[in-house]
Amino acid sequence: MRAIVLLGHGSRVPGAAREMDGLAGKLRELTGVSLVKVCFLSRLGPHLPETIKACVTEGAEEIMVIPYFLHAGLHILVDIPEELQKLAVEYPQTRIVFGKHLGFDVVMAEILARRVDESLSLPDVREIEVPDRANYPVPPGQGEFVEVIPDK
């Protein structure tokens, strides 16, 4: 049996994963794979270790991890493959595949064009009421976002 794990970055905002849950449901429908789970690299869980374990417990012989990431940055190149290789040692009987990230696709450009159209009627940024950052505390043991200044 195959399982699909849709892996997102993660957020400390409760409920931020609702859209991922919707995607997982649509993925079940489109692929015919009944065991589709959502997990996150950091912040609010579930995380990869517990999700892989759940898939194996539910009978998965192959787990395809699809990273819901746009670009081939450090998480795609190093962090996720390293984590998956560690997990693969724990489950030698299970084939674990690190699938492709979203990357470039003409469909992405079409979605962006739709978002441009949908954004035409939105207000000026000065009119947006921004929630208080204190409503979204950093989970214990995790650091705050650190801005990286680009090289000139």
Q: Is the dihedral of CA 97, 103, 104, 106 positive or negative?
A: positive
What's the domain count of the chain? 1
Which pLDDT value is given to residue 14? 78
Q: What single-letter amino acid sits at 32?
A: G
pLDDT at 143: 58
Cα–Cα dist 118/122, whole Å:
8
In a domain, residue 13? The reply is: yes
pLDDT for the residue 120: 96
Give CB contacts under 8 A, 24+ apart, made by 24-27.
Answer: none
Residue 82: CATH number of its domain:
3.40.50.1400
- The answer to whether position 138 is within a domain reads no
Q: Clarify whether 9 is annotated catalytic.
A: yes
User: pTM of the prediction?
Assistant: 0.84
How would you write the pLDDT of the chain (152 residues) with one tens digit per residue?
A: 999 999 999 887 878 888 899 999 999 999 999 999 999 988 778 999 999 999 999 999 999 999 999 999 999 999 999 999 999 999 999 999 999 999 999 999 999 999 999 999 999 999 999 888 888 777 666 655 545 555 66
- 3-class DSSP assignment, residue 134: helix
**Terminal Cα-to-Cα distance of the chain (whole angstroms):** 50
68 is in which domain, residue-wise? 2-98
